[in-house]
């Protein structure tokens, strides 16, 4: 191991040089004879003293070519402590054993400067000549960075280090007039983003990067129109929540996505409260391979549960999330379990063996038109499956079960929505029947961007095929949020629930689906109704023009979190719910789809079924 001897030799040489230079400066480069013995004595004990203090403060544990602000602080502390000791020795013994006060101060300053310069030089050498990510500068594409704030500056700095990415920052564009004409990391800030169109050729720009993660959505849309007119490839930096985790670097550029154009602020979570219900406890996630279930697994794993049970019927999906979690370092925590919720024997064995204390129930059939054609499957899986899971949770004394519901359960017009509403009623009734046992709660939210059933991937495929993009109705609106945001709020709801609640997440403002389609087309640098046609095909069976937040029997109350509301309603008695569900289970296979819908309406009066 040559690292420590190498650093020791470099530090010794630097400290000797700074001590000698401090004498030269103090005596105008003509050291008087009477001070030379003290200088030689200082070489004998002051240099070892400084090295010892640097060792004690861990300044030789880092790699020579890596040097950052914490290392700088460590050097300053070690040299300041050494200088203090030297001054104490001088005060106690006089100048016979220690140099004059001016020398002590000069030596401190010069030592700090020389050690810092030496370490920075090693870092520069490593980054410029020994980093495997470096590439010849002539291969790099010249890019313009939109946003000269902290994120843009971090991007420029990282691209300078990671030259293997093949990107060379050539100019900044920023809305702040005070920055125009200045330089950030020696890169000029030439003006606002509007200057891109007139300066792209003179600056020889080949690519553009948006580095404004906190900019208003309106401004982002304006900038996108400019970039589309520039006819250059453009990308953006990771989202603020990704950057906040520290797992994603600012240089991990990605295409601009539709969620960047929705006015969704980053969610602030009470991690301490969530950690109390998850840390060191066995946690189960059903539907663990789905869009919501897999994100639940990612976020729950970070809270260090004792065991994370991944329950999923599809082995392909559970394999994907299992491998991802293993790659993230959670292989010793997770237990992948291929299981069908309706297989009561299999589910009982899982509960007996693993005794989950916290359950997040995300398994469900969610496709509205498909469930409309086969309502039996929706009721069997979404309603009866949830009811059986909840009864097992009670039987095995689970602490809480959080059911993932939907805004389509409010005044439902679809079988999928009413199957979820029935599941809500069932878990509320179970809690009301035995409130001292498992805490049951449901969380309602609308559409999530990026999920397997989301309209966005459907539109993406239609755009890729050249159109048309098919929208059901020009006035249809939906609420949207991102998957990480929805899951974070689900965890927050589960942590603050006391039992029997239905929580609803703040979905922001509803979005017109036709506007969403237009924005997606524009993100592909195409023009709606010119390059890609938008076709209106009519509402599908069970669909609404707009989704609602609550129905009339529910009272909305605030919670401790600004983006979570609590819905209060009195459920039917447990005995009546059990009777109705048992009767429905017995009858549903003998009824035609329309008859089954009418039968469900007898249980959920606000249900307005689609009867062709």
Q: What is the DSSP string of 286-310?
A: ETTTSHHHHHHHHHHHTT--SEEEE
Half-sphere exposure of 333 (CA within 13 A, CB side): 25
Q: Of 37, 47, 32, 34, whose CA–CA distance to 86 is shortest?
A: 47
pLDDT of residue 389: 96
Structure tokens at 329: 């370092």
* pLDDT (average), residues 185-200: 88
pLDDT of residue 550: 57
User: Which of 189-198, 363-372, 445-454, 475-484 is predicted with the least confidence, judged by mean pLDDT?
Assistant: 445-454
pLDDT, tens only, 108-128: 888 888 888 888 887 777 666
pLDDT of residue 542: 65
585 or 242, greater pLDDT = 585
Residue 289 CA, distance from chain mean position: 18
* pLDDT (average), residues 328-340: 92
Q: What percent of the chain has pLDDT over 70?
A: 86
Contact in structure between 38 and 99 (CB atoms under 8 Å): yes
Average pLDDT of every residue of the chain? 83
- Flag whether pLDDT at 247 surpasses 80: no
pLDDT of residue 220: 85
pTM of the model as a whole: 0.67
pLDDT of residue 126: 67
* pLDDT (average), residues 138-152: 82
Q: Which residues of 83-108 are buried (b: 16+ CB within 10 A; e: fewer)?
A: bebbbebbeeeeeeebbbeebbebbb
pLDDT of residue 263: 57
- Flag whether pLDDT at 135 surpasses 50: no
Contact in structure between 418 and 600 (CB atoms under 8 Å): yes
Residues annotated catalytic, as ranges? 408
- Flag whether pLDDT at 403 surpasses 90: yes
Contact in structure between 165 and 209 (CB atoms under 8 Å): no
70 or 246, greater pLDDT = 70
* pLDDT (average), residues 244-252: 54
Q: Of 416, 423, 420, 409, whose CA–CA distance to 542 is shortest?
A: 416
Taking the C-alpha atoms of residue 109 and residue 68, their distance in angstroms, rounded to an integer, is 19
Contact in structure between 329 and 247 (CB atoms under 8 Å): no
* pLDDT (average), residues 576-598: 90
pLDDT of residue 10: 80
pLDDT of residue 297: 95
- Provide the 8-state DSSP code for 530: T
Instruction: Give start and end residues of each alpha helix (H) in 365-512.
Output: 368-373, 375-378, 385-395, 415-433, 455-464, 483-496
User: Which of 235-239, 376-380, 510-514 is predicted with the least confidence, judged by mean pLDDT?
Assistant: 235-239
Residue 75 CA, distance from chain mean position: 35
Taking phi first (over 0 means left), then psi (-120 to 50 degrees means alpha), and beta for anything else, what does residue 166 get?
left
* pLDDT (average), residues 102-110: 86
* pLDDT (average), residues 480-503: 87
User: Which of 138-142, 315-319, 491-495 is predicted with the least confidence, judged by mean pLDDT?
Assistant: 138-142
pLDDT band at 134 (very low <50, low <70, confident <90, very high): very low
User: What SS3 string covers 313-349?
Assistant: CCHHHHHHHHHHHHHCCCCCCEEEEECCCCCHHHHHH
Contact in structure between 610 and 541 (CB atoms under 8 Å): yes
Q: Do domains 137-257 and 364-447+481-506+549-603 have the same CATH topology?
A: yes
203 or 39, greater pLDDT = 203
* pLDDT (average), residues 183-189: 86
pLDDT band at 138 (very low <50, low <70, confident <90, very high): very low
pLDDT of residue 570: 81
Find the radius of gyration of the CA atoms of the chain: 32
Of 2.70.98.60, 3.40.50.11540, 3.40.50.720, 3.30.420.340, the CATH number of 137-257 is 3.40.50.720
pLDDT, tens only, 5-40: 777 778 888 888 888 888 888 877 777 776 677 777
Domain assignments of the chain as residue spans, ordered by start: 3-130, 137-257, 364-447+481-506+549-603
* pLDDT (average), residues 354-378: 92
Which residue's structure tokens are 């549960």?
305
pLDDT of residue 261: 65
pLDDT of residue 390: 95
pLDDT band at 70 (very low <50, low <70, confident <90, very high): confident
pLDDT band at 611 (very low <50, low <70, confident <90, very high): confident
pLDDT of residue 554: 57
pLDDT of residue 359: 96
449 or 188, greater pLDDT = 188
- Flag whether pLDDT at 240 surpasses 60: no
pLDDT of residue 21: 87
* pLDDT (average), residues 532-553: 72
- Flag whether pLDDT at 239 surpasses 90: no
CATH 3.40.50.720 fits 364-447+481-506+549-603, yes or no: yes
pLDDT of residue 178: 87
């Amino acid at each position: 191991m040559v690292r420590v001897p190498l650093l020791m030799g470099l530090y010794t040489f630097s400290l000797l040089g700074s001590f000698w230079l401090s004498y030269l400066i103090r005596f105008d480069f003509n050291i008087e004879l009477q001070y030379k013995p003290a200088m030689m004595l200082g070489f004998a004990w002051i240099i070892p003293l400084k090295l010892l203090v640097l060792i004690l403060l861990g300044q030789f544990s880092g790699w020579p070519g890596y040097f950052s602000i914490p290392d700088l602080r460590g050097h300053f502390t070690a040299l300041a402590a050494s200088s203090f000791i030297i001054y104490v020795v001088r005060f106690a013994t006089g100048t016979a054993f220690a140099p004059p006060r001016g020398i002590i101060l000069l030596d401190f300053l010069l030592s700090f400067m020389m050690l810092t310069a030496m370490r920075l030089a090693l870092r520069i050498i490593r980054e410029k000549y020994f980093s495997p990510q470096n590439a010849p500068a002539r291969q790099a594409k010249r890019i313009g960075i939109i946003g000269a704030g902290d994120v843009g500056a971090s991007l420029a700095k990282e691209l300078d280090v990671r030259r293997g990415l093949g990107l060379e920052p050539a100019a900044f564009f920023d809305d702040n007039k005070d920055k125009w004409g200045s330089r950030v990391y020696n890169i000029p800030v030439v003006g606002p983003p509007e200057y891109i169109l007139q300066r792209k050729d003179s600056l020889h720009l080949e690519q553009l990067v948006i580095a404004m993660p906190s900019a208003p959505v309106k401004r982002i849309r304006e900038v996108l129109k400019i970039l589309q007119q520039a006819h250059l490839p453009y990308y953006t930096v990771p989202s603020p929540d990704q950057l906040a985790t520290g797992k994603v670097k600012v240089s991990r550029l990605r295409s601009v996505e539709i969620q960047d154009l929705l006015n969704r602020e980053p969610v602030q979570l009470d991690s301490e409260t969530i950690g109390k219900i998850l840390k060191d406890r066995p946690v189960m996630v059903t539907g663990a391979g789905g869009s919501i279930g897999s994100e639940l697994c990612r976020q729950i794993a970070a809270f260090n549960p004792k065991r994370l049970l991944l329950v999923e019927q599809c082995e392909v999906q559970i394999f994907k999330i299992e491998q991802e979690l293993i790659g993230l370092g959670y292989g010793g925590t997770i237990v992948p379990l291929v299981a069908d919720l309706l297989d009561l024997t299999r589910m009982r064995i899982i509960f007996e063996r693993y005794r989950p204390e916290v359950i997040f129930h995300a398994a469900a059939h969610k496709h509205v038109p498909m469930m409309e054609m086969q309502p039996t499957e929706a009721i069997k899986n979404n309603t009866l499956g949830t009811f059986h899971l909840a009864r097992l949770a009670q039987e095995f004394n689970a602490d809480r079960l959080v059911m993932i519901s939907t805004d389509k359960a409010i005044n439902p017009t679809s079988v999928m929505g009413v199957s979820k509403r029935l599941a809500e009623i069932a878990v509320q009734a179970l809690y009301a029947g035995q409130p001292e046992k498992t805490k049951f709660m449901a969380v309602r939210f609308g559409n999530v961007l990026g999920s397997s059933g989301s309209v966005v991937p459907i539109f993406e495929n239609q755009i890729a095929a050249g159109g048309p993009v098919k929208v059901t109705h020009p006035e249809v609106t939906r609420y949207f949020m991102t998957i990480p945001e929805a899951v974070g709020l689900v965890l927050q709801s589960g942590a603050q629930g006391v039992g029997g609640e239905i929580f609803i997440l703040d979905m922001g403002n509803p979005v017109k689906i036709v506007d969403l389609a237009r924005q997606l087309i524009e993100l592909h640098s195409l023009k709606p109704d010119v390059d890609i046609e938008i076709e209106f095909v009519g509402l599908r069976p069970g669909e609404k023009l707009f989704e609602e937040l609550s129905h009339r029997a529910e009272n909305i109350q605030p919670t401790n979190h600004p983006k979570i509301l609590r819905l209060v309603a009195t459920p039917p008695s447990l005995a009546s719910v059990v009777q109705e569900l048992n009767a429905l289970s017995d009858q549903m296979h003998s009824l035609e789809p329309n008859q089954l819908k009418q039968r469900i309406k007898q249980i959920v009066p606000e249900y307005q079924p689609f009867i062709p």
